[in-house]
Structures are given as structure tokens and as C-alpha cells.
Amino acid sequence: MLAVRIAMLGWEFPPFMSGGLGVHCEKLSHALAEQGLEIDFYLPKNGCRIPSNGVNIVPVYYSQQHERMDERNADPYYRLKNEMSLVSRPKE
């Protein structure tokens, strides 16, 4: 029988940026690994060694242009909202 292999994508995984999403990804991936599934968790490369405990952490390299994740490159509507706010501002 072939092993089931799952690819998970995320941008945080404890102890790196351990917010609600990171904790959820950690718990979910470990629970799946305990069931005998192979988990590859793709995470932006950050230079930290992350203990995996049965989860294969795969570092993803990205360009310097997107080195910092912020509202401008995380929100697909950022530019549109910014342009609309310029239109809706009252004239001085």
C-alpha cells in the first residue's frame, strides 16, 4: 500500500511567528503525522532551525523583493483600496 503524502503550505510554524495560524498548522500536521501520513510543510526560509517532530519542514526561498511579508504583498486588493481611498478623499 502506498503511503499518503500531504503537502501543507504556510508562512508560520512554531517557534517561527507563532500566532494562531502557526499553532493550528503545527497541531494539524502533527496529528496527521501520528496517523501515519507523510507531511511536507512548505515554509518561507528564515534561517531558523525548526524542530519538526515527524513533519518534513521544506524551506521555500523567495526573492528579496518579497522578503518582508506585509499588507502590500499579502493583500491582493491593497493597490485597489489605496487608489480608491485617493478618489474618495475630500478635497482640501
pLDDT at 11: 82
Contact 60, 46 (CB under 8 A): no
Cell numbers describing residue 3: 503511503
Whether this model's pTM surpasses 0.75:
no
Q: 54 lies in which domain range? A: 5-88
pLDDT at 58: 87
How many domains, in total, are found in the chain? 1
Q: What is the pLDDT of residues 32-76, one digit of tens each?
A: 999 999 999 988 877 667 767 789 888 888 766 555 556 555 665
- Whole-angstrom distance, CA of residue 92 vs CA of residue 90: 6
Q: What is the pLDDT of residues 8-28, one digit of tens each?
A: 988 888 776 667 888 888 899
